Amino acid sequence: MLTIKDLRAGIEGGDILKGVNLDVSRGRIHAVMGPNGSGKSTLAKVLAGDPTYAVTGGSVEFLGRNLLDMKPDERARAGLFLAFQYPSEITGITIQSFLRTALTAQTGKDISVFEFYELLKDRLNLLDLDEAFAGRYLNDGMSGGEKKRTEILQLAVLRPKLAVLDETDSGLDVDALKVVSQSVIQIFEEEKDMSILVITHYQRILSYIKPDFVHVMMDGRIVKSGDAKLAMYIETHGYDSIKAEVEARVSAAG
């Protein structure tokens, strides 16, 4: 699905990503964990094509195509979806209008009002949202939990090939986290070839969205990979233990 090789990227003044290597398998759930400032959100934004960040080296292949040569809208139409950590507020555009426009742009087909309404109603039910929610302006005046539900509603309607969830658990209480996570899993199970890349600090979201693979990022690199047990290890021992392991490995190699 996605192959990242020696990816280097950052902003003026230096690289934040310092040689990321990562393979995301088709139909699998991967999690990238790491402490603050490790480069996790930068990775998500670079994959989505955020022009704030300059790629200085490496390659990214998505479904056999050079992702770095594609514009952000081309990446989205190809099936890459990013759920933002801090979604933007857009006054004057309703959620339902935004979603219909996005779906039309993605598919290249002008979906009828009736067909779209039936799809939207089904997706709202999935997220336990009433129909009035779709008439609200996009993220305007919403709580953090409502904004995250809006992001997952977009995921449910657009059904991408690869969903990158950038700290979706941020700002969610226990009940909202459970609803959002269960919705993500249901969407994932409906779309047999969908892959998910969960970016998070904490293990708690991974109790619901259970990963097949866990990768630890520190100082702009993936330093350790494993299965779901790795997330539990971090929950118990913290990131300092991983850091010490990496430093010992570097010392022994040098």
166-192 residue pLDDT tens = 988 877 778 888 888 888 998 898 887
Q: What's the DSSP call for residue 101? A: H
Amino acid at 14: G
Question: Residues 34-50: what's their mean pLDDT?
Answer: 93
pTM of the entire predicted model: 0.90
User: What is d(CA 127, CA 42) in angstroms, rounded to the nearest whole number?
Assistant: 28
Which residue do the tokens 């979604």 mark? 87
Residues with Cβ within 8 Å of residue 237, at least 6 apart in sequence: none
Place of tokens 């039309």: 104
d(CA 204, CA 151): 19
Of 142-151, 187-196, 230-239, the range with the lowest mean pLDDT is 142-151
Q: What is the pLDDT of residues 124-137, one digit of tens each?
A: 988 888 889 999 99
Rounded to 5°, the CA angle 73-66-166 comes to: 55
pLDDT band at 68 (very low <50, low <70, confident <90, very high): very high
Looking at the domain that runs over 2-253, which CATH code has it been given?
3.40.50.300
Q: Whole-number mean pLDDT of the chain?
A: 90
> pLDDT tens for residues 78-89?
999 998 877 788
Beta strands in 12-103 (DSSP E): 14-24, 29-33, 54-62, 65-66, 80-83, 90-94
With H, G, I as helix, E, B as strand and everything else as coil, classify residue 146: helix
- Is the pLDDT assigned to residue 92 strictly greater than 80? yes
pLDDT of residue 176: 80
Average pLDDT, integer, range 156-170? 90
Q: How confident is the model at residue 254 (pLDDT cuts 50, 70, 90)?
A: low
- The domain limits of the chain are 2-253
Confidence label for 213 from pLDDT (cuts 50, 70 and 90):
very high
